[in-house]
Amino acid sequence: MTHFPDNFLWGGAIAANQVEGAFDRDGKGLSTSDMLPNGILSPHQSREERTPGIKDLAIDFYNRYPEDIALFKEMGFNCLRLSIAWSRIFPNGDDEAPNEAGLAYYHKIFDELACHDITPFVTLSHYEMPYALTERYNGWGDRHLIGFFERYARTVFEAYKDKVKLWLTFNEINMSLHAPFTGVGLPEGASEQQIYQAIHHQLVASARAVRLCHDIVPNARIGNMLLGAITYPYNCNPDDVIAAMNENNKWLFFGDVQTRGKYPGYMLRYFRDQGIDIAMEDGDLDELAQASVDFISFSYYASGCASADPKQKEVGNIVDSVPNPYLEKSEWGWLIDPKGLRILLNFLYDRYQKPLFIVENGLGARDDVLHTGEINDDYRIAYLNDHLVQAREAILDGVDLMGFTSWGPIDLVSNSTAQMSKRYGFIYVDRHDDGSGTLERSRKKSFEWYKKVIASNGAAL
């Protein structure tokens, strides 16, 4: 008895800007990601300042996708989460007509997946948007973005409606609070007022995409995508519990709007307390109310801790947390907490009562290639095994879990730091931080491990 459902979706997750390369090929416009050659933790460049970066070629998935998809199939994937680069389809974002070469490219990818019986699971916007939209419109700060995104979503739903039945709107939509340029195309120093206004536009656009997807694509399911930043109280002092509640509300807000269809009371209070005033148009709240997502997806890498005591120093990159003395950290300082995944799954299922999907989880680590060519990544196997065991526990707890797509099943460029050396893959890619390497692919020890896990539907854990 494996406890994973028979129709469980097993696979991996990648994002266009971290794998494809070909940043200026076949009519693609510059994206916001193309202006962050050093990753989202560094300031973005302007068009004039732009310097080449490792993502310009990334792992050349643009050309090498047949080989990579064949390797995914060899591992037994029945699902691949990937994203469409919006700027391949609408190079400037406000173009009247789509770029046919961009549409043709993703047709080839979906056809290749179909040949291997791998279900495509597509994110409309994974940490990128056409850069021109930030120059001409101030990104999502401008309401026009809702219409441009609607045109893009309609175009890809119509183009791929027979090939793609599983969709997500915005990757880690709550990330805008930490990285506004990446999330909503606003400058790094944007105020909370500006960021929440932009987020409102993005939430309306997300709701519109949900409705469009249901109208255009027969039998499709569309979900949201949260950075599952579950935060514990540092101790049982009620002040710490409230500090943790407030931290959790910061990201649950997005899930609440996308699932329950309205702004929650705690957020309205926060806006009042901070003097934030969101401009809305008639109909916005109705749109939110009428477009609840079909399922909730999330990434999970680490839990966090919150304390009301100002002496407790916050650490971390991207999402801050008070150190948790019970947990180990990854080389990049991310807390490793497999049981947190079970807690998060139960928490989200209890709150929303909708199916859940773990769309990202994995360990970023340096790998050593032995002289024999072997890569013995036991640390990665241990990390993923421990997390999947906890996912199984959550299923036993009664959580309806649709699938698991591990992050970066093939090494790719890191989002936060644009490093190749922060590797997540079962498949090694011979490319290095300085851009050297042959791009050759090879199987790590974890490749065989994941293959057995999938073949046994989790019994091998």
Minimum Å gap between C-beta 301 and ligand BG6 is 6
Does residue 422 belong to the site contacting ligand BG6 (CB under 6 A)? yes
From the CB of 133, what's the least distance to ligand BG6, in Å?
Answer: 20
String marking each residue 160-179 x if it binds ligand BG6 according to CB under 6 A: -----------xx-------
Instruction: Closer to ligand BG6 by CB, 284 or 360: give it.
Output: 360
> Shortest gap between Cβ of 416 and ligand BG6 (angstroms)?
3
Q: Per rule CB under 6 A, is residue 416 in the interface with ligand BG6?
A: yes
Cα–Cα dist 347/296, whole Å: 12
Contact indicator for 270, 215 with CB cutoff of 8 Å: no
Return the residues of window 4-43 that contact ligand BG6 according to CB under 6 A.
15, 18
CB 305 within 8 A of CB 324: yes
Region of 64-72, 281-289, 408-416, 437-445 interacting with ligand BG6 (CB under 6 A): 408-416
For residue 305, the cross-strand partners are 232
Residue 228: CB minimum distance to ligand BG6, A: 10
One-letter amino acid identity for 383? Y
143 binds ligand BG6 (CB under 6 A): no
Q: Which of 172, 247, 287, 393 is catalytic?
A: 172
The verdict on 84 binding ligand BG6 (CB under 6 A) reads: no
Q: Is 344 in the site for ligand BG6 (CB under 6 A)?
A: no
Beta partners for residue 170, in sequence order: 125
Which positions from 117 through 136 interact with ligand BG6, judged by CB under 6 A?
127
Q: How many residues bind ligand BG6 (CB under 6 A)?
A: 13
Please say which residue, 155 or 416, places its beta carbon nearer to ligand BG6: 416
- Using rule CB under 6 A, residue 251 touches ligand BG6: no
CB of 368 to ligand BG6, least distance (A): 19
Q: Tell me the residue number closest to ligand BG6, measured at CB.
A: 416
Cβ proximity to ligand BG6: between 14 and 395 the closer is 14
Phi-psi region of 21 (alpha: psi -120 to 50; beta: other; left: phi over 0): left
If one asks whether residue 299 binds ligand BG6 (CB under 6 A), the answer comes out as yes
Q: Is 360 a catalytic residue?
A: yes
Question: Does 414 help bind ligand BG6 (rule: CB under 6 A)?
Answer: yes
Largest distance between two CA atoms of the chain: 65
Who contacts 373 (Cβ-Cβ below 8 Å, separation ≥6)?
Answer: 442
Contacts with ligand BG6 by CB under 6 A lie at: 15, 18, 127, 171-172, 299, 360, 364, 407, 414-416, 422
Active site residues: 172, 360
